[in-house]
Every structure is written in C-alpha cells, then in structure tokens.
Structure 1
C-alpha cells in the first residue's frame, strides 16, 4: 500500500479529513509541521487537497497514539509499514519496549493507588485537628 502518494487534485479538505479520521484540524497541521503526515498538494487557491492515502496514514497515527506510542515510535512504525522496509523484528522490538513502559506505568499507578487508599482510609472526615491527606502532602522527604 503506497502510503504517501496523491494523484487527486480534488481531494479532501482539511475539515473533511478531520471528520473522516476523528483527528482535529490543529493536530493534522501539527503532524504536517513535524513531517509525520506528508504535506498534501494544494489547489490553485492554496487549499490543502488530501488523498485517501492521507486518511490511511492519519488513521495509522491515531491508532498508534491511542495505544500510547510516542511520536518517534510512530514515525519509525510508519516507515516500517512501507512494503520495502517491513521488519517484523524491529516492529516487535518497538512494541515490546512500549509494553514494558506501559507495565512500568501501571505498577507506578498501583503504588499510587495503594498510598492514596491508605491515606484516605485514615481520614475520618471529621473536625480533627490533623488531616492524614494534608499530612502526606506536607510531608518532607528530606
């Protein structure tokens, strides 16, 4: 699937592309500025004219972002999605590293949840002179 070709001069406007993909207009422009989404040809009046290939690339980017992949990884994955550059081993390596990162974040969130749960359970919500939640927030690690 050639991802970056456009032969239609009467393609989609940026608004139509945004509606088709669920990506807002400013994000589309941002992806173009950072060369993640190839710039579309322009009409004689200067409007962007997006092809179906732009829809496919933008959908790929959106799915990658929904899965939490950083932009740098999505850039690499887009390159690897090209027929001549496909490397399943490299894709797996990127996905595995991202999975490790997600698991680490989950572990951090679970520790945070335990701490908050313990702190909140100590809080009587009454007019006590000391509040466990505020005590934790005021605690010094020094």
Structure 2
C-alpha cells in the first residue's frame, strides 16, 4: 500500500508517517521503480503501537526504547518495567504541577467576580502583579524531560489534536 493508504488505515497524516520514518521509529518501506513508498501490514501494526504510546504521552525516545525491546522478544522485560516506572514518575510529577497550576488559576479567578472594565479586572491586574514579582521559570513551573526526550507541553495544539485521536483509538 502507498503512504496515503497507510495514513487512512492508521487514522493519521502522511507527514506523520514520514516524520516517524525520519525518527527511525518506522522501518524504511520498500520503494517502487517510480520511487513510491510501499508499506505492508507490519507498518500498520508498528504505527498503531507508536500512536498508542503517544496517547500514553510517551516521548519519542521512550517509544524508540520500547520498540527496541519489542524487536528483541528474548530481552528481559525488567528494563521495560523500569522505563514505564520512570514514565509514571514523570506523569505523577506533571499531575502535581497541573494541580498547582489549577490552584493558582482558581485563586486568580476569584479576584474578578463582578462585571466591570478591564482596567479594573482583578485577573488582569493579578497577572500583571505576578509578572512583575516573579520570573515564571524561577517559580518552579518547569519539569525535567525523561529518557533524554523532550515532552510536548500539555495544552499545545498537538495535544488537543492528539486527545481526539486517542479517544478514537480507545473506543
């Protein structure tokens, strides 16, 4: 099958497939005499595995490591457990950060309960005051990447886009 057919079968974009190939997550497909990529069922299965890992918010390096384990079925799964334990630790840390963020946002929200002009808005004034007092990075709102990968930020357009496709994958 060609890349468009694989994209439709997997529910993703052709560019995503090319990206995963460049990242060496998907094996290079065979090529036709006209230089078209030709994919088979193993590409569909591997792409489904990668996409599910992304739905679990795993970084590309984590996925790459899991694929290496998957490609060596005789390997000890203790390393897989360690990788997942580290990822769980990252998720726990991120949840803690998000709970702090929620608390900060709720605290900010109660500063403006009535309708009035923006110049008197407690939210805008509260943000300006906080911006003058603290540099965001010094306040501890950073998180460490894991398995040498950089995580996408929750709330990016990619995350919103992925969350819809992840819901479809779980159904």
The TM tier, using the shorter chain, reads 0.7 to 0.9
How far apart, in 2, do the equivalents of 1:20 and 1:42 lie? 19
Unmatched tracts of structure 2, length 5 or more: 135-171
RMSD of aligned C-alpha atoms?
Answer: 1.6
Shift of 1:135: 2.1
Aligned to 1:52: 41
Following superposition, the deviation at residue 84 of structure 1 comes to 4.1
TM value normalised by structure 1:
0.84
Matched, 1:36 2:59: no
* Contact 1:21–1:55 (8 Å) recurs in 2: yes
Which of 70, 86, 89 is equivalent to 1:81?
Answer: 70
Question: 2:123 is matched with which residue?
Answer: 133
**Does the 8 A contact of 1:13 with 1:48 survive in 2?**
yes
**Alpha-carbon displacement from aligned partner over 1:10-66 (angstroms, at most 9, x marks no partner):** xx1101111111121001001111211111001112111101111111111001011
CA deviation after TM superposition for structure 1 residue 86, in Å = 3.1
Q: Residue 17 of structure 1 contacts residue 50 of structure 1 at CA under 8 Å; is this kept in 2?
A: yes
- Give 1 or 2 for the bigger CA radius of gyration: 1
Maintained 8 Å contact 2:111/2:126: no
Tell me if structure 2 keeps the 8 A contact 1:40–1:48: yes
User: CA–CA distance in 1 between the matches of 2:25 and 2:71?
Assistant: 14
